[in-house]
Structure 1
């Protein structure tokens, strides 16, 4: 079964726009789980424009499903993750000023760096995932780091889905198959939505987890959070 992890960064962005505690991030996380989400994802950035460091500490005892922290493995990030001990850490190559994740790792160039980081997190009992594109050599080198999973950066799939969905999905099927043969788990995320999610799942049913934030929160403005999560979960079934 492919799990749905809800990225709640956009909820934190809305809260931060006015200060205070509205909407309440902890309540949203708890509600997402109650409505059927199998995980909560956060991406704390150095400028804390989304989820703040304090939020991560506050969320840890409240999240009863899978807690996934993603981010660039700076010394501060590593310290946070090791202190909080989430179920999973997803390593992304974001620059500090990146608006959102926009590329996967060059695991060939960063093999030694990523191997050291993966070793450190795995020794702490934290499952690791490396954000990658679909290049199979990159995925092979990701496996060499000792990571448990990769997360496929799905923006190119989403961007090309409406033009030619067969062509859009093809490199992702190849990449997911390569990862599977290497013994890696496969996650996916970025620009997935109610239009393109089921086709991804149908073609790559062994995906372990999808992490979805922006589109899901936007849909919730119209549909409500409970119905939105139900809709996304229905995309992860073939019935």
Structure 2
């Protein structure tokens, strides 16, 4: 059994996609970010950075004690290796998969998160930041669009690289992006959205960057974005 500490954010949804695609036994432990549950000592013992997702595998492959993991990319690789699924066996393709997974973790996710924050959650407009991050996300979308030309998925076959990238493309409207001019990327999104596992993972999920999303309360804003600088575990967006 694996405990998945989860909230329905793009990073959390990466892991939901994996679990829905497999029959790996797991239990969802929902973390209420607006109430600051990601700062609880018990959670920080699992995820020292105070962010979701995180997980505890109570039956790791080495037969040892329960294994705690944080960072969504590391978790996807761990699960792919544990199950032997969604990570190519061919050494070169496996390396390509890791490259695109790291590309998402280092570029697409952080830049999209900043674009979404300044467009949807900043207390007042910051035009330079909106322009800077929206343009960088547009560039990154172009990188992925070119990669997908002539391919159904990033590696040709569905993999953890697709699971990592998809949640940050699915929220494109809230990031100021349109897909009509990127047919390869749009087709890829449509193919993944049509998968039964994706539909299960996204059931009832609302984008954190949706334009019509109800405004968060001042208390929630303080918890998510206004933590004291002296508390390093609470700095930054926990998603």
**TM-score normalized with structure 1 length:** 0.32
Question: Which one has a larger percent helix, Structure 1 or Structure 2?
Answer: 2
Greater relative contact order, per chain length (Cα 8 Å cut-off, separation 6+): 2
Question: Which one has a larger percent strand, Structure 1 or Structure 2?
Answer: 1
Larger radius of gyration: 2
**TM-score normalized with structure 2 length:** 0.32
